[in-house]
């Protein structure tokens, strides 16, 4: 199957620069504060070239270096499982790729270098280029989707070093006079380079998974050092920020901003487990206002003779309850806020069965933390995600397994790539907004339910259950991501088509308006120019463009008709007849572009000739008549601003600049007209108007707006920068905000 889409992704230098990096060979992080700057800065082009050299030195040997580990992984897989047709296909494809590795490495290096060229010239490649629309088979589309997913993972993993490095690169970009920049060694650029290295190559699914897994692993071992060296190099070359007092300080700079009111991160995103537990303890122990603490989270006061249950004992109790009905959890997820209490009650019942009487035991503080955090994360998922009622039973099955994970592994709340987090993210991706209206949606929901059931039955402190359930569900989710990708493409093309039409109309109106007002014209000529010729100009502009020969011919037709009208006014019948004969075919073609058949076009020509037959007909200059077009999308051009457009002119330049620097694929959180927070991604940037198309998780259009309109929303607190919408991470951030609000 092939799908029509457009897919594009988001000599050593001598002198003091080279000397400055001679000591960096073993550095993992910069020893320089962000603001450390020399009195003078090194030539920015030389510094950028040195960062490029470092990048090519560290990464330039890929992807050829991956094939050995991949071959070992395929061989190991073959020893544990019966060989099948897919394994033979992977082996054959790997053999073919290894014979092309020189070309792949060359393309990869070229793409890495291209990132630095785009930085210098501010020609960041758009992911979508409608002029290069072509056929892309599903295997290639899968490569692009896998690349985007890997870029999201790396962006989260290296968030802090990326922020520091990009702040320095922003200063360097300003030195070059650039208003915006895209990090040439950012995860998006590295993913794009890798995908483009396999352009035109079909990679089977299992082999593709290994390729990205080992590429990501290689980057994980390399990027700490690369980012540290690049950061130190930029610092030593003087690309920091101004000093504040006696210290160099790093500003909170959004991409592309120059200080002032810049676009801010969504509140609550930078939350740590230690901070959550501290807030949770204060909340649960009553040091905040008592009315903010529900009874379900009231602390179990230590009584005489009671001991804290060990974590192992609580896990054993939870394991005892694995196969039992979870109706109480499902009811608690209906919005009552009682999930924590329900979990405690069930654990209390299980403890009695094991002979652990509540008269002599109590749940310890660490176990309380695990129970409360899991309960609040699950409650937050239902508060922030578009989950239907039928999802409650599915999630209820997962409550106790996730309590067990939280009891024994704090990494559940610390590490975004934890297998249990990845599975919950995948289940939420499958269920959120899923109305089960199509066979595919029903299959997706059923697969998610089976994954939940599998974990509920099979999890006994072995994380492989989560990994296997995730792998099976993620394989089906890949099809959904393809659908989302294509939905984004359709939304972008629809907006682009309307913008092209509007732009062509405006160009045509300007031409026709000048022609009608240039000289007195009879009604017949003025009417033809204001209707049929006007429509013809629009069609030619859309199909051939303003620089085409056809457009020049169309313009010449208007001028020729105006000259014909002058001949008619002077009663020069012979010259008029000759002129009309030479224009006959062109006039008929013009009329035909309005949808008239040959007969109707000939009739229109006769009417035009008849109007020129009277020299004494009244003539005057004409105004451009109002346009009447079917399907005009006036709604699309309306500003979506709560306060109207009066405040747009007073926006802070830094805010506008921050938003202008957002690239395709960047995520935001947007409060819509109904006051509901929604995830929104920059899906496309118009090459005509620079408007941004924002799409949701499912690829549907959320908003089409100018940067100034988005800045107005940001200043109202309705728009924030946000990380990629991973369900568990967002729920955890919401828990942190909820606890902070309770303590304020």
* DSSP line for 192-214: HHHHHHTTT----HHHHHHHHHH
Average pLDDT over residues 693-709: 88
Model confidence at 446: pLDDT above 80: yes
- Say which residue, 695 or 96, is predicted with more confidence: 695
Question: Residue 396 — very low, low, confident or very high, per pLDDT cuts 50/70/90?
Answer: very high
Statement: residue 94 has pLDDT above 80: yes
CA 415 to each of CA 265, 276, 314, 664: distance values in angstroms, whole numbers, following the listed order:
20, 14, 23, 26
Mean pLDDT on 76-80: 54
Question: Looking at the predicted structure, is the pLDDT value of residue 10 above 60?
Answer: no
The CA distance from 321 to 301, in Å, is: 25
Cα distances (Å, whole numbers) of residue 229 to 25, 29, 200, 226, 249: 8, 7, 34, 5, 20
Point out which residues pair with 679 in neighbouring strands.
669
pLDDT at 138: 65
Q: In whole angstroms, what is the distance from residue 599 CA to residue 588 CA?
A: 10
Contact between residue 408 and residue 315 where contact means Cβ atoms under 8 Å apart: yes
Kindly report, residue by residue over 254-273, the tens digit of the pLDDT: 443 334 456 666 655 658 78
Its pTM stands at: 0.62
Q: Report which of 319, 276, 253, 275 is spatially closest to residue 658, judged by C-alpha positions.
A: 253
Write the Ramachandran bin of 594: left for phi over 0, alpha for psi from -120 to 50, otherwise beta: alpha
pLDDT single digits (tens) 643-655: 444 445 556 787 8
> So what's the pLDDT on residue 617?
87
**CA torsion, ordered 535, 537, 542, 546, to nearest 10 deg:** -160
- Confidence at residue 607, expressed as pLDDT on a 0 to 100 scale: 84
Given a cut of 50, is residue 87 above it in pLDDT? yes
Is 60 exceeded by the pLDDT of residue 587?
Answer: yes
| Per-residue pLDDT tens over the stretch 173-193 | 888 877 677 899 999 999 999
> How many Cβ atoms sit within 10 Å of the Cβ of residue 471?
15
Burial per residue of 576-593, b for 16 or more beta-carbon CB atoms within 10 angstroms, e otherwise: beebbeebeebbbebbbb
Q: Verify cis geometry, omega within 30 degrees of 0, for the bond prior to 63.
A: yes
Neighbours of 744 (CB within 10 A): 8
The per-residue pLDDT for range 710-729, each reduced to its tens digit, is 888 888 888 888 877 788 98
Task: Answer whether residue 252 shows pLDDT above 70.
Answer: no
pLDDT exceeds 70 at position 63: yes
Q: Which of 220-229, 265-274, 297-306 has the lowest mean pLDDT?
A: 297-306
The pLDDT value given to residue 270: 59
**Residues 211-231, mean pLDDT to the nearest whole number:** 87
3 state SS of 605: helix
- For the cut 80, the answer to whether the pLDDT of residue 483 exceeds it is yes
Indicate the average pLDDT of the chain.
Answer: 79
Q: Say what the pLDDT of residue 399 is.
A: 94
Instruction: Please give the average per-residue pLDDT across 656-663, as a whole number.
Output: 84
Q: Which of 127-141, 379-393, 690-704 has the lowest mean pLDDT?
A: 127-141
Most confident stretch, 163-172, 208-217, 597-606: 163-172
């Amino acid at each position: 199957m092939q799908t029509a889409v457009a897919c594009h992704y988001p000599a050593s230098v001598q002198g003091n620069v080279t000397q400055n990096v001679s000591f960096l060979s073993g550095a993992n992080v910069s020893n320089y504060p962000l603001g450390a700057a020399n009195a003078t800065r090194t030539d920015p082009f030389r510094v950028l070239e040195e960062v490029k050299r470092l990048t090519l030195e560290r990464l330039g040997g890929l992807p050829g270096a991956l094939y050995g580990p991949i071959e070992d992984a395929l061989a190991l897989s073959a020893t544990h499982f019966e060989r099948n047709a897919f394994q033979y296909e992977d082996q054959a494809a790997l053999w073919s790729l290894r014979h092309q590795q020189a070309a792949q490495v060359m393309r990869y290096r070229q793409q890495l270098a291209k990132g630095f060229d785009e930085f210098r010239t501010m020609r960041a490649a758009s992911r979508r280029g409608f002029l290069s629309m072509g056929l892309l088979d599903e295997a290639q589309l899968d490569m692009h989707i896998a690349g985007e997913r890997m870029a999201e993972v790396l962006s989260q993993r290296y968030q802090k070093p990326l922020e520091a490095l990009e702040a320095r690169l922003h200063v360097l970009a300003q030195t070059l006079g650039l208003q915006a920049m895209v990090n040439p060694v950012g995860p998006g650029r590295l993913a794009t380079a890798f995908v483009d290295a396999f352009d035109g190559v079909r990679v089977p699914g299992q082999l593709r998974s290994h390729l990205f897994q080992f590429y990501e692993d290689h980057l994980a071992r390399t990027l700490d050092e690369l980012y540290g060296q690049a950061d130190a190099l930029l610092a030593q070359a003087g690309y920091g920020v101004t000093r504040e007092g006696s210290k160099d300080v790093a500003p909170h700079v959004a991409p592309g901003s120059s200080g002032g009111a810049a676009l801010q991160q969504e509140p609550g995103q930078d939350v740590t487990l230690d901070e959550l537990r501290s807030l949770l303890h204060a909340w649960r122990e009553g040091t905040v206002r008592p009315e903010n603490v529900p009874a379900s989270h009231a602390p179990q006061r230590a009584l005489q003779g009671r001991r804290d249950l060990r974590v192992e004992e609580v896990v054993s109790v939870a394991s005892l309850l694995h196969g039992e009905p979870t109706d109480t959890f499902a009811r608690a997820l209906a919005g009552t806020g009682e999930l924590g209490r329900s979990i405690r009650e069930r654990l209390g019942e299980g403890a009695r069965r094991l002979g652990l009487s509540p008269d002599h035991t109590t749940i310890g503080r660490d176990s309380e933390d695990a129970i409360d955090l899991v309960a609040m994360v699950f409650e937050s998922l239902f508060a922030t995600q578009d989950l239907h009622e039928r999802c409650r039973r599915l999630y209820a099955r997962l409550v106790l397994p996730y309590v067990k994970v939280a009891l024994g592994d704090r990494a559940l709340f610390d590490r975004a790539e934890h297998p249990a987090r990845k599975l919950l993210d995948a289940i939420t991706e499958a269920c959120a907004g899923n109305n089960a209206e199509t066979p595919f949606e029903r299959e997706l929901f059923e697969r998610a339910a089976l994954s939940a059931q599998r974990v509920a039955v099979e999890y006994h402190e072995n994380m492989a259950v989560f990994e296997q359930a995730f792998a099976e569900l993620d394989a089906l989710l890949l099809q959904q991501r393809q659908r989302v990708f294509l939905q984004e493409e359709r939304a972008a093309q629809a907006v682009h088509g309307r913008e092209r039409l509007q732009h062509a109309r405006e160009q045509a109106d300007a031409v026709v308006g000048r022609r009608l007002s240039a000289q007195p014209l009879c009604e017949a000529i003025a009417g033809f120019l204001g209707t049929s010729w006007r429509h013809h100009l629009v069609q030619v502009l859309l199909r051939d463009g303003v620089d085409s020969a056809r457009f020049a011919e169309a313009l010449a037709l208007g001028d020729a008709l105006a000259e014909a009208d002058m001949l008619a006014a002077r009663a020069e019948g012979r010259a008029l007849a000759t002129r009309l004969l030479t224009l006959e075919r062109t006039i008929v073609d013009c009329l035909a572009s309005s949808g008239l058949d040959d007969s109707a076009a000939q009739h229109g020509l006769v009417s035009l000739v008849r109007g020129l037959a009277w020299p004494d007909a009244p003539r005057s200059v004409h105004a451009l008549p109002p346009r009447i077009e079917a399907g005009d999308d006036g709604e699309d051009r309306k500003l979506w601003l709560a306060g109207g457009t009066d405040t747009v002119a007073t926006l802070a330049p830094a805010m506008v600049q921050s938003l202008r620097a957002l690239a395709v694929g960047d995520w935001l959180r947007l409060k819509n007209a109904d006051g509901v927070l929604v995830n929104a991604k920059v899906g496309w940037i118009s090459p005509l108007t620079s408007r941004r198309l924002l799409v949701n998780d499912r690829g549907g259009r959320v908003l089409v707006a100018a940067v100034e309109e988005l800045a107005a929303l940001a200043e109202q607190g309705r728009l924030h920068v946000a990380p990629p919408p991973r369900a568990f991470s967002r729920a955890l951030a919401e828990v942190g905000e909820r606890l902070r609000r309770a303590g304020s």
